[in-house]
A and B are shown apart, each in its own frame.
Chain A
Amino acid sequence: MASILETAASVGVFNTLLAAVDAAGLREALEGPGPFTVFAPVDDAFAALPPGTVQTPPPQLARILTYHVLSGAYSREQLVAEDSWSSLEGAPIPIRCKDPFEVKNATVVTADVVCDNGVVHVIDRVILPG
């Protein structure tokens, strides 16, 4: 089985996310044993953001990215059992809807992609703390 980042790279729709992970210096952490749950926005989600939103210095960018990560591997079934989860960034991620599966203001387009060091849920919007 591949790691979270290897899986994301193989699909080809997470180019912006992977570039941002590198820019923020998070590659090493995400290649660690984890396990993590990653809500991975597709390239179109980043393109829909107003200009400049993620063109920030690494520590600030890392905050946006770590808001998409939970400590521990959780499936869709486990996630929808709670109203809210605490992100690695520190701010809570609300589970807004179980069916369709909506995380904050993003919809999960593909859930439960199991990897070596965690689980990936593909989302259609970049989620922001607040």
Chain B
Amino acid sequence: MSATVASERIKAPLIPPSTHRYADVIHRLEAGGSMLPDTPENLKQIIGIYKAYAVPMDFYWRDLLYIAERVFLNPLPAFKYFISQEYLDRPNSYAGDQSQLRIWRGGEKAHPELLEFMERGETGRMPKLLHHLWHDRVNMEFAEACMQAMLWHQGMGGRFNDYLESDAYKANADRAIKAYFKGNPLMLGLYALFPDMFLEQVRQLSYTANLGLFWEVMAPVFFEMSDIYDEGGFKGVPDAMDFIVNGIFAVAGRPIYHHLYIGDECYEIIPKSEGFTWLYEAALPYVEAVFYRTAPFRGTKSYNAQAGQVPADQADFHYGILYADVFPVGSAGIPPTLLMQDMVHFLPPYLKEIYREHKRGEEDELVQLGITFQRSMYNVTSAVIQALRCALLYPLDDTNPEHLMANRRFFEAQMDRFLRPEARLPDIQSQNYR
């Protein structure tokens, strides 16, 4: 009897259970888990959608950098989505044998499935211009909407935004603008008349570069996760989350910069020497702006700001994927729909099979994959939460109750953000939410 009590004492937790509404989720996080329950189907769904997300993302990051570094302030950027061969072939810094830190074992150039889709689209082989006009292409508008969310919300940690207001940045941007419009008296005249308007456009392009550099990392992370899963490598959802946590730390210090190329000449608008990092200046602001906040999308629902239906404080915005009602897709070309439409082209067969077996089968595939995407982003957010806990707080197996309580307060504060009724955290706890 005493031996049993002793063992119970040893096993007894060092702190009392949480009384938070999401106590179950908090206890799972404290045990090293994810907000997403650890089930084989959840693992299959999230890995499948990571793969389907990574293929268009391979286009997004390349074209974002192409726009930031080459298209720049082109006043009629009609061809900004017609990425150059150079950027399509640009070696990913984290894929292939040439990379210093290889995350994905595959090739460093654009993914073969992406190239095949760019060639044929849904309609068939035809000139690039016709694919573009028919909108049978990768929806770069989604990537730009994410960038604009980052630009608009600003001030979400890191020092990037402060730098965009600094005299050093203004001087760098001024040099770049004057070089770009050299020999163009009309644009230089407009610049002299409306300098702030041009500067604000350059700031937007700096966020374009920022997001491109962020996604250059995430695409190989997701490709590698898909390959590991195909080889039977992940045992559960926490394994998949841990892979992302390790990835976050491995690339946390990647420089975030904005260079403009005019011919072979490079103008450093944000030099690497400013010390901006992938984690603080790109990843964390991205998660905050895109997963949590964004902005109400026009076309699906009317919001009355005067009736308080839109928060007065930007920090309270809750229109990101973690809160999204995925059902009204396909109605207005809203950014999430554009992403769903991009991902549907690259679903692995096992995910298509799941969708065929549930709800209305292929008829509502976009809705089902949207909810899968929501599950997968709750897992990515869990990875970010665990990475922050690891960096700023204490190990999960710390033996000091004070430290464990500090971890508890952090997890509870994170879960407070999902107390509002729009949050989908309760929904994703069940497999029936499809």
A56 touches B159 (CB 8 A): no
Chain B residues with Cβ under 8 A from A75's Cβ?
none
B251 touches A50 (CB 8 A): no
The answer to whether residues A105 and B249 also contact, given A59-B275, A63-B275 and a CB cut-off of 8 A, is: no
How many residues does chain A have at the interface if contact means C-beta atoms less than 8 Å apart?
Answer: 23
Chain A residues with Cβ under 8 A from B392's Cβ?
104-105, 128, 130
B249 touches A57 (CB 8 A): no
Asked whether B157 is an interface residue with its Cβ less than 8 Å from the other chain, the reply is yes
Chain B residues with Cβ under 8 A from A61's Cβ?
253
Chain A residues with Cβ under 8 A from B274's Cβ?
59
Chain A residue at minimum C-beta to C-beta distance from B398: A105
Contacting residues of chain B (247-278) with chain A, CB-CB under 8 angstroms: 249-255, 272-277
Chain A residue at minimum C-beta to C-beta distance from B402: A97
Contacting residues of chain A (65-105) with chain B, CB-CB under 8 angstroms: 90, 96-97, 104-105
Bitwise interface map of B from 334 to 349 toward A, beta carbon under 8 Å scored 1, else 0: 0000000000000000
Chain B residues with Cβ under 8 A from A104's Cβ?
392
B280 touches A130 (CB 8 A): yes
Contacting residues of chain B (226-255) with chain A, CB-CB under 8 angstroms: 245-246, 249-255
Complex CA distance for A56 and B403, rounded to whole angstroms: 29
Asked whether A10 is an interface residue with its Cβ less than 8 Å from the other chain, the reply is no
Asked whether A52 is an interface residue with its Cβ less than 8 Å from the other chain, the reply is yes
Bitwise interface map of B from 182 to 199 toward A, beta carbon under 8 Å scored 1, else 0: 000000000000000000
Chain B residues with Cβ under 8 A from A50's Cβ?
245-246, 249-250, 390
The answer to whether residues A130 and B253 also contact, given A59-B273, A62-B275 and a CB cut-off of 8 A, is: no
A130 touches B275 (CB 8 A): no
Contacting residues of chain B (361-411) with chain A, CB-CB under 8 angstroms: 388, 390-394, 402-403, 406
Extra contacts, 14 of them, besides A50-B246, A60-B254, A60-B255 (Cβ < 8 A), are A50-B245, A50-B249, A50-B250, A50-B390, A52-B101, A52-B251, A56-B254, A56-B277, A59-B255, A59-B273, A59-B275, A60-B253, A105-B394, A130-B157
A-B contact pairs, 25 of them (CB 8 A): A49-B249, A52-B101, A52-B249, A53-B250, A53-B253, A54-B253, A56-B254, A56-B277, A57-B255, A57-B272, A59-B255, A59-B273, A59-B274, A60-B253, A61-B253, A62-B275, A96-B406, A97-B402, A104-B392, A105-B392, A105-B393, A105-B406, A130-B157, A130-B388, A130-B392
Q: Which residues of B contact A (CB under 8 A)?
A: 101, 157, 159, 245-246, 249-255, 272-277, 280, 284, 388, 390-394, 402-403, 406
